Amino acid sequence: RRKGERGPKASRTAPPEAAVEQGSQTPRGRDAESGGARQGPRGRADGTQPPHTCRLKTWTGSGILPSRRRFRPSTTRKYHKSRLDLLLQTWISQARGQTFIFTDWEDRELRLKAGDHMINTNCSAVHTRQALCCKMSVEYDKFLESGQKWFCHVDDDNYVNPRTLLHLLSAFSHSQDVYVGRPSLDHPIEAADHVQSDGSKTTVKFWFATGGAGFCISRGLALKMSPWASLGNFISTAERVRLPDDCTIGYIIEGLLEVKLLHSPLFHSHLENLQRLQGESVLQQVTLSYGDPENKHNVVSVGGVFGLQQDPTRFKSVHCLLYPDTIWCPAKKMS
C-alpha cells in the first residue's frame, strides 16, 4: 500500500467481558485547544473537565508482557529520580524482561539498572508536541524491529498490573486489529485531514486513547500503521494534522485505517478522580496513576500497607497487596 492510501477496513474483534466497549459517535463541536483538533462540548467520560483535548505530558515508554509482549514506559530526564525509581522498585520488577524505558538523555545510573532496556531517543527534553511525537516515533520503530506481538505504551506516572493486562490481551489475537485503551473525553475529536485543490480542508472524526492512561496495539494493526508511522513518518503525520502523539495514534488507527478504539475502563490517568477507585477493585485495574503536585490528594483509595506520608502515590501499597512477598513490603498490615 502506498503512503497516504487508506488501509482496508479491519474486522472488529469481540472485547473481553466487561473490559472494553465501543464508543459512540457524537456531533461535531468547536475548535479544540490542541493543534488542529476539533471537539464537541468539553468534558471527560467521568464528567470532570480536562485541561486539554490531547495529551501533552511527560512521556514514558514501556514494552509488552510475557515472552511476546513488551511494555514501553516513556520518561524524561527530570523524572528519572522522582518517578522512574518508584516504577523500577514496583511493577517493572515484575516485568523487567518485557519492559523498555524510553527517555531523552543518557543516564548512567539508569543504564546500570536497566541495561539495554533503556532506550535513549535523542529527542528533545522540552515539553512540546514535536518532542513527544519524536519519542513515540522511536517507540513505534523499536517495536516493529523487536518482532514482539503487542505494543503497550504507558507514562512514567502509571502503575501497570501485568496480570490484569495479560488477562485483557489474552482475549485477542495479536494478528487481529486491536487498539485498546481509555479516552480522556466522552466524545471523539476532529482534525483537518487533507487540503483540497480549492484550498478547503476535509476533516476526520476519531477517538483516541489517552497516553496518560496507557494503551495497547496489536502487531497486526501496528504493521498496517507503517505508511504513516514508520521511519519518521509518524512525525510528519503528526505535523500535518498538528496533533500530539497519542492523538496522532488515534488519527492513524481510527481516522485512516478505520479500526475502532476498544474503550476500556481498566486504564487510568491522572486526569480522572482516582479516589473513586477503592479496595479490591484497585487490584483489578490494568493501569493506575496519581495526581500532580497541585492535586496530590488525587490517588487511589487503598490502605493497610503504607501510610500516605510513606507512600503518597499509593503505588507501593498496591504493589505489596499484589505481591506481598516483595522483600521491602511490611510483614504486617497497618491497622
Say what the pLDDT of residue 200 is.
Answer: 75
38, β-bridge pairs: 31, 190
Residue 59's pLDDT band, with cuts at 50, 70 and 90, is: very low
Contacts of 307 (CB under 8 A, 6+ apart): 334
69, β-bridge pairs: 150
Taking the C-alpha atoms of residue 227 and residue 223, their distance in angstroms, rounded to an integer, is 9
Task: Tell me the pLDDT tens digit for each residue of 237-272.
Answer: 999 999 999 999 999 999 999 999 999 999 999 999
Say what percent of the chain tops pLDDT 90.
64
Asked whether residue 230 carries a pLDDT value surpassing 90, the answer given is yes
Cα-based distances in Å from 143 to 92, 93, 149:
18, 21, 9
Active-site residue, selected from the candidate residues 177, 246, 292, 311: 246
Contacts of 198 (CB under 8 A, 6+ apart): none
Rg (CA), the chain: 19
**Residue position matching grid coordinates 492512561:** 213
Give CA 215 to chain center in angstroms: 4
Q: Catalytic: 246?
A: yes
Asked whether residue 29 carries a pLDDT value surpassing 80, the answer given is no
Contacts of 171 (CB under 8 A, 6+ apart): 14, 15, 16, 19
pLDDT (average), residues 38-61: 38
Taking the C-alpha atoms of residue 281 and residue 290, their distance in angstroms, rounded to an integer, is 16
Say what the pLDDT of residue 21 is.
Answer: 55
Asked whether residue 160 carries a pLDDT value surpassing 90, the answer given is yes
Cα-based distances in Å from 293 to 40, 297, 310, 331:
29, 9, 16, 30
Task: Tell me the pLDDT tens digit for each residue of 164-222.
Answer: 999 999 999 999 999 999 999 999 999 988 766 677 788 999 999 999 999 999 999 99
Taking the C-alpha atoms of residue 13 and residue 171, their distance in angstroms, rounded to an integer, is 9
Domains and CATH numbers, the chain: 44-263 (3.90.550.50)
Cβ atoms within 10 A of the Cβ of 59, count?
A: 33
